[in-house]
Structure 1
Amino acid sequence: MQYCFVEGSFADLARDLAEYLHITAEVEPLLEANSKDEVLKKLVTASAGLNSYPEKEFTAAYNLLVYLVMQSPNVNMFLPRMCGNLSNTKSFSSANGTGLALNVLTTIFNLLSADNEVRFDVFQAILKNVKGTISFETLRPQLKKLDQWVEEWDLDEEEQRKLFALIVAVADDAGEATESYQYTLKSLRTFPSAEVSSPDAQELSLKALKAALLSPTHFDFHDLTSLPTIQALSDSHPEYSELLEIFSEKELEDYNDFRDENEEWLEKQDLDNSTLHRKMRLLTLASVAASTNSKELEYKRIAKALQIPVEDVEMWVIDVIRAKLIEGKMSQQKQLFLVHRTTYRVFGEKQWREVATRLDQWRTSLRDVKGVINRERQQAEAQKEREMHDMERKVAGAGMGSGRRMGGRDNMVEMGTD
């Protein structure tokens, strides 16, 4: 946060700034009439000229203007105009004009209370200044607080969409594809049901869908298929809708059929076939791994599904593991991929059936294990019981034999005495 350290009465400071802006004749009568807000209107309007001033003079003059404006009980009356002046970056004479404007706007933003609705205007001005610069990293920490600010500013859906669109534009300029995609989705969620097929909604939907399809790291399309605006593409853009369905739940063979039928359309839409084809192979391998019940996937089966030579299988397995779609271990000797974990691309009736089958298999296995354990326990108990009986018999036999021997000795002694 930046602070403004200024001394002097409002009138004296306003006179100084008015003189600097060459509007003393307009401001002096208003000061004499103690019309502070009218004075501020004149100063804020004239402040547009500060953009052409040298860097040191610009900063000092704007610090003074911010200080004066913040003294007004009607501060929100002046800030939108100031934001507009500071957003006109083309009018700056300094090469560092954007940075100067951002400093002033950040100061204003931080001086306002969290629930001040004008904070929204100030933040939009900050976004406009960041756009086209390399300053996205300075914006990133602020985006973590955006959801909270949107709630505090009580923005309606249209205002939210406007804000998200600005962030998308800033992210696009900075080459931040992930942030651009995420805020495009946020924008799509603001469309009411009556507008999901509107031109703006369809344009944004296509932008998001193309970004997801061509992204080398985006493999889960549920975030798109669940959006009403994306679902509306089935009527207006059936090819895109079909392509999304293929990447959501189908396999390489389905994509190849689509490509053969829509090769010109793909080229016209700038949808690179090699990029799509590679991603489809990775998704297909994930599906094949998820559908195997034995957890042992033969190289031959992988090669057939991906339409590749067997010797290329390990390369694709490594790629799909790097994409975090599956986890497992390769056995070159056995020509097997041992699946440890996999992610379902879509979870529907087919997947529930697979889960049910596996649960039945596990239940059967557990029942078999339980049976083996019970038999072993019964055998152990029977063996223990036999051993106890044997020991009891031996002890009993040993006792009887000892009594007979002692009796014989006594008889011998008695006979010897007579």
Structure 2
Amino acid sequence: MPGATINGPQPQLLFVDGSFEDLAREMAEYLKSDEAKQLLSEDKAAPKEEVLSKLVAASSALSTVPEKEFTAASNLMIHLAMQSSDPKKLLPTLCSNLAKPLINSPVHGAGLALNALVTIFNLLEPNDPIRARVLMEILKFLKVHGLFDGLRTYLDKLPEWIVSWGIDAALERKIYEEVAEVALESGEETTAYEFILKALRTFDGEGTTSEEAQRLSLRALKMAILSNTHYLFQDLRAIPSVQALSDSQPVYSQLLDIFAEQDLEDYNDFNDEHKGWVEEQKLDAEKLHRKMRLLTFASLAAATPSREVEYAKITKALQIPQEEIETWAIDVIRAGLVEGKLSQQRQMFLVHKVTYRVFGQKQYQELATRVDHWRSTLQNVLAVLQQEQANAKAAKIREAQELERKLANVNVGGQEGGRRRQPQRERTDNDD
């Protein structure tokens, strides 16, 4: 958030000196609140809560003050409001007034107003439930001004805050939905969808079939199937209120099932069965058709044990001419559903990695088939290696035997060559 940081309590955020009566009188003069001034001018001590009520009601005038005076004036007003014995009665109105556009600050006004709202949030104790109400006002402000980036850093803290506030499920749901609205306003579809699911998970029991639950479930379903980045639907289908759509919105529920685990042919059958329904619901028919083709490509790759998908199977499943295969292969890879490459020579798409859309009994069977195929392949490889190992061992034995034979022949030849005949002596008379 520009110039604002949401965090723990910081009592030193405001530096204000003076008694309540003096500060209230100063604020009444500044806001030109005749009612507050009258209460403070009486001889007897003015009732604090009544004075504060009048000042907060008049705080809408802060949107008209000079830019350079706004921070000091708003801080004083916040300080006075926090003196109330029951601030939660005053803070919603004060937040609403502080969030109004600053007439004299078209450039920096949003940042100044946001700083004031965040100051209120930070002055409250971390476990104070009033913080939830103030946060709602901040979220509405961020949505109007498209300031989602300022909220992004604090989204991880939100569940912890909500637990510490001990608020009911209804308010928790409103906060999550408001975060989703802020995200959508800034084009953050993934984050918006994530927080819509969080909101849906706050329903339980009979609440899952309530009108609000079904409204929000239908919204999440539409976001999921129309998203350019969301291709897996198991998280959505696991939510009880979404499952209840099978009764309240059976056609939408059928459509979700198709996108979750079926293919293009099933989608075309759906359109034949419900002619004109997609257009009546103002859904983007072209986007849905394209997404269904990508999902069908992924299922085809996942269901092929050999990891080699013939071009003919792709053209049939996606209902496209062969010359478009490369385009769809690039798109399905870019979508993160499949990793692989085309082999023009073999007329195959070679699958390296694939994302399963669902993983149920059918997928376990496919995986078992693939594991059997891998096991058979590995057994064949092992048999070849073992045979090669045996052949190599036999060859070594033969080489050793041949070497021994040659050495033996050499030794024999050497011994024969070493047996020389003794030279004969000439006979002499002494020999007799």
Could you give the per-residue CA deviations for residues 320-343 of structure 1, whole angstroms, max 9, x where no partner exists? 111111111112233221111111
- Alpha carbons of 1:52 and 1:83: their partners in 2 closer, same or farther (altered >3 Å)? farther
TM-score, with normalisation over the residues of structure 2? Answer: 0.85
Does the CA-based 8 Å contact 2:67-2:105 persist in structure 1? no
SS at match of 1:341: strand
Aligned AA (2:175): L
Q: Distance in 1 between matches of 2:403 and 2:228?
A: 75
Could you give the per-residue CA deviations for residues 134-171 of structure 1, whole angstroms, max 9, x where no partner exists? 22222222323212222222233222112112223333
Q: Give the equivalent residue in structure 1 for 2:411.
A: 399
**1:84 to 2:93 alignment:** yes
- Please state how far the C-alpha of 1:398 moved relative to its aligned partner: 3.2
Q: Distance in 1 between matches of 2:370 and 2:197?
A: 36
Does the CA-based 8 Å contact 1:248-1:346 persist in structure 2? yes
Does the CA-based 8 Å contact 2:176-2:196 persist in structure 1? yes
Q: Which deviates the most, 132-141 or 315-324?
A: 132-141
Q: Which of 247, 252, 263 does residue 264 from structure 2 map onto?
A: 252
Q: Distance in 2 between matches of 1:380 and 1:37?
A: 98
- Alpha carbons of 1:177 and 1:381: their partners in 2 closer, same or farther (altered >3 Å)? closer
Equivalent residue runs for 1:53-92 within 5 Å: 53-70=65-82, 72=83, 77-88=86-97, 89=99
- Please state how far the C-alpha of 1:348 moved relative to its aligned partner: 1.4
**1:27 to 2:22 alignment:** no
- Alpha carbons of 1:400 and 1:338: their partners in 2 closer, same or farther (altered >3 Å)? same
Aligned AA (1:290): A
- Alpha carbons of 1:101 and 1:405: their partners in 2 closer, same or farther (altered >3 Å)? closer
Give the number of aligned pairs: 412
Does the CA-based 8 Å contact 1:234-1:241 persist in structure 2? yes
Greater relative contact order (Cα < 8 A, sep 6+): 2
Could you give the per-residue CA deviations for residues 168-219 of structure 1, whole angstroms, max 9, x where no partner exists? 3333444433333222111111101211111111111111111111222221
Q: Distance in 2 between matches of 1:415 and 1:224?
A: 117
Q: Give the equivalent residue in structure 2 for 1:279.
A: 291
Q: Distance in 2 between matches of 1:346 and 1:376?
A: 42
Q: Distance in 1 between matches of 2:246 and 2:352?
A: 37
Q: Distance in 1 between matches of 2:423 and 2:376?
A: 75
Q: Which runs of 4+ in 1 moved over 6 A?
A: 34-38
Q: Which of 234, 237, 240 does residue 225 from structure 1 map onto?
A: 237
Q: Which of 50, 55, 58 does residue 62 from structure 2 map onto?
A: 50
- Please state how far the C-alpha of 1:52 moved relative to its aligned partner: 4.3
**Structure 1 stretches lacking a partner, 5+ long:** none
Could you give the per-residue CA deviations for residues 285-343 of structure 1, whole angstroms, max 9, x where no partner exists? 11111111222222221111111111122111111111111111112233221111111
Q: Which of 374, 377, 389 does residue 362 from structure 1 map onto?
A: 374
Q: Give the equivalent residue in structure 2 for 1:113.
A: 125
Does the CA-based 8 Å contact 1:133-1:174 persist in structure 2? no
**1:134 to 2:125 alignment:** no
Could you give the per-residue CA deviations for residues 257-277 of structure 1, whole angstroms, max 9, x where no partner exists? 110121222222112222211
Q: Which of 201, 221, 240 does residue 189 from structure 1 map onto?
A: 201
Q: CA RMSD in A?
A: 2.8
- Please state how far the C-alpha of 1:4 moved relative to its aligned partner: 2.9
- Please state how far the C-alpha of 1:41 moved relative to its aligned partner: 5.2
Q: Give the equivalent residue in structure 2 for 1:102.
A: 114
Q: Give the equivalent residue in structure 2 for 1:152.
A: 164
Q: Give the equivalent residue in structure 2 for 1:16.
A: 26
**1:303 to 2:312 alignment:** no
State the identity %: 50
